[in-house]
Amino acid sequence: MRSVGVEEELLLVDARSGLPQAVSGAVLAAAERQAWERPGDVTHSHHLEKELQWEQLEFATKPVTRMGELQEEIRRSRREAARLAATAGAVVAAIATSPLPVKPLLNVGKRYQWMGEQFGLTAQEQLTCGCHVHVAVESDEEGVAVLDRIRPWLSVLTAMSANSPFWQGQDSGYASYRSRVWNRWPSAGPVEVFGSAERYHEQVTAMVGTGVLRDKGMIYFDARLSATYPTVEIRVADVCLDASTPVLLAALTRALVETAARAWQDGLPPARIGTSLLRLASWRAGRSGLDGPLLHPDTMRETSPMEAVGALYQHVRDALRDHDDDQLVQEGIAKLERHGNGAHVQRSLLHSEGDLARVVTRCAQLTTDGEVPPA
């Protein structure tokens, strides 16, 4: 069974005001002190990492094969991140953009400073938190075959995970405004069918060779070969408010990878849907989330959100059953349909709480509570 791992980016905010706090350096220093003082403690957060902005923090789970293990890893990591954030006077919130106005502070280091100089406001304003899913592959050839075949389905994952309706103090009109801000990067978004690992690597080398990108780490495709691990990395999701949602996404993503790999082994070609259509599907998913129409992955025509989710489920059902993930996914989809995604919850909180500061502080509480109650 293919292993799977998740990376989550969290927002660091003040517990009372909800304003983002540029304290990731202090949080990581606290994690290092803990690791030094308690070297035998397997719970210490050596897996925490800095991100582009000082107001955010990232953690990565270990690779696992069972979704129950992944659920525990995510909940434990969120609790640990929250505990360490408290040492710097902050809390963590699993929301993909700050609802409140903020001027983010770029992290130190030559790479981040280069990005700030090269990309201007695109880098300076890029305070967004995503959820990345890594799924093991046996080779680059298999990995690229997977990338070629999962392209039409990724926008559905964006819609399911959408958790960024607010931007700089106002409603953006989008369910996932993070996806729109993220796609300001020139290397981000859907890409063409590559056909072979050789072609993929040629394209990556040519893109870095232009000088527009600093290194291969700036290849921000919706899905890419990991430069570090023997995995494909799917990068389209917002960080999710409910800790069970990234597990649902991981199960669906692994099944997508397995389904695509089997199709490649059986000699079935990838769907030749143009990149321009996939960009429209991505935009539609970011705009609608689960509260409006999506583009059907097979036809690229408007359909209801749950019809698109159902099509994804049917596409990967055999792999889900082989992984013993079918019941988990069915229950997860039903929960999303009942309660809504993070964008729906955030807008409901604004209606009930009355201001965006309370939205943020409630989301911070929900981040480590584990499950989000019905909106």
In the prediction, which pLDDT does 40 show? 60
In the prediction, which pLDDT does 46 show? 46
Fold of the domain spanning 4-369: Creatine Kinase; Chain A, domain 2 (3.30.590)
In the prediction, which pLDDT does 8 show? 97
Residue type, 139: S
DSSP notation for 124-187? HT----EEEEEEE-SSHHHHHHHHHHHGGGHHHHHHHH--B-EETTEE-S-SBHHHHHHTTSTT
Phi, psi of 329 (to 5 degrees): -70, -45
Nearest 10 degrees: Cα torsion 263, 265, 271, 274? 130
Compute the half-sphere exposure of residue 34: CA atoms within 13 Å on the CB side of its CA.
Answer: 20
Q: Which two tokens stand for residue 198?
A: 């050789």
In the prediction, which pLDDT does 374 show? 58
What element of type H or E holds 116? helix 110-119
CB 190 within 8 A of CB 278: yes
**Rounded to an integer, what is the distance from CA 215 to the centroid of its chain?**
21
Phi, psi of 4 (to 5 degrees): -140, 145
Distances (CA, A) of 370 to 238, 348, 373: 17, 18, 10
Instruction: Please report the sign of the dihedral spanned by the C-alpha atoms of residue 83, residue 84, residue 89, residue 93.
Output: negative
In the prediction, which pLDDT does 134 show? 98
pLDDT digits (tens, 9 = 90+) for 256-287: 999 999 999 999 999 999 999 999 999 999 99
CB 319 within 8 A of CB 255: yes
Q: In sequence order, what are the beta bridge partners of 182?
A: none
Phi-psi region of 60 (alpha: psi -120 to 50; beta: other; left: phi over 0): beta
Q: Are strands 223-225 and 231-238 parallel, antiparallel or unpaired?
A: antiparallel
What is the pLDDT tens value at each position of the chain, 375 positions in all?
A: 999 999 999 999 999 999 999 999 999 998 888 777 666 655 544 488 888 889 999 999 999 999 999 999 999 999 999 999 999 999 999 999 999 999 999 988 899 999 999 999 999 999 999 999 999 999 999 999 999 999 999 999 999 999 999 999 999 999 999 999 999 999 999 999 999 999 999 999 999 999 999 999 999 999 999 988 999 999 999 999 999 999 999 999 999 999 999 999 999 999 999 999 999 999 999 999 999 999 999 999 999 999 999 999 999 999 999 999 999 999 999 999 999 999 999 999 999 999 999 999 999 999 998 666 555
In the prediction, which pLDDT does 49 show? 83
